[in-house]
Amino acid sequence: MSVLISCLVSCLTAVAAMAETAPAPLGPEDEALCPAEISSELFDALIGWIAINTSYDVSQTYRSPPEIFFCDTGAIVPYDEGELLVDTMLDAVFDLRRRRVYLVFPWSPDDDFDVSVLLHELIHDVQHINRDWDCIGEPELEAYWLQDKWLSEKGLVSNFNWLAILQLSTCPKSE
């Protein structure tokens, strides 16, 4: 137990020691977006949780966070090389190309499920910085598994459809 505790403390200390950097300025395509104000306390807590609960190096995500925006259901947002319609099925989206998180309104830092959605998208940033993935869906199983773990630590049940998530995470067989 003491070994575990010292690991946790050193991880947290390492995360706390990292510097913050200013986000990149917005381009013309971003004018309609609403930058999300995420407190540094919440961001630090989520990054610290990822550091403790995975073997990934979170330093790049911590020092240079992805951009985080709010958007409404029905909005069309820049995504990868094109645009994405934010349909009613989406709680959030991670645009790997821009390292950008879109959180769909309504979203509140006081709602643990909403916070877990932000955690999920930050996990995607960490996942892609740390390793290559065979297809865009492959990181989902781990991201949902970690989100479920975070929720269960809050006493909440995710009710995720694990069969659908497993299918989403399974890359198409290459020819």
Residue in the structure block whose two tokens are 């990292």:
18
Least distance (Å) from Zn ion to the CB of residue 28? Answer: 28
Least distance (Å) from Zn ion to the CB of residue 127? Answer: 9
Least distance (Å) from Zn ion to the CB of residue 20? Answer: 25
CB distance 105 to 70 below 8 Å: yes
- Nearer CB in complex with Zn ion: 44/91: 91
Under the binding rule (CB under 5 A), the answer on residue 143 touching Zn ion is yes
| Half-sphere CA count of 87, side-chain side, radius 13 A | 2
CB < 8 Å & 24+ apart, contacts of 3-6: none
Least distance (Å) from Zn ion to the CB of residue 137? Answer: 8
Count residues near Zn ion (CB under 5 A): 2
Q: Give the other-Cβ count within 10 Å of 126's Cβ.
A: 24
Restricting to residues 122-141, name those near Zn ion by CB under 5 A: 140
Residue ranges binding Zn ion (CB under 5 A)? 140, 143
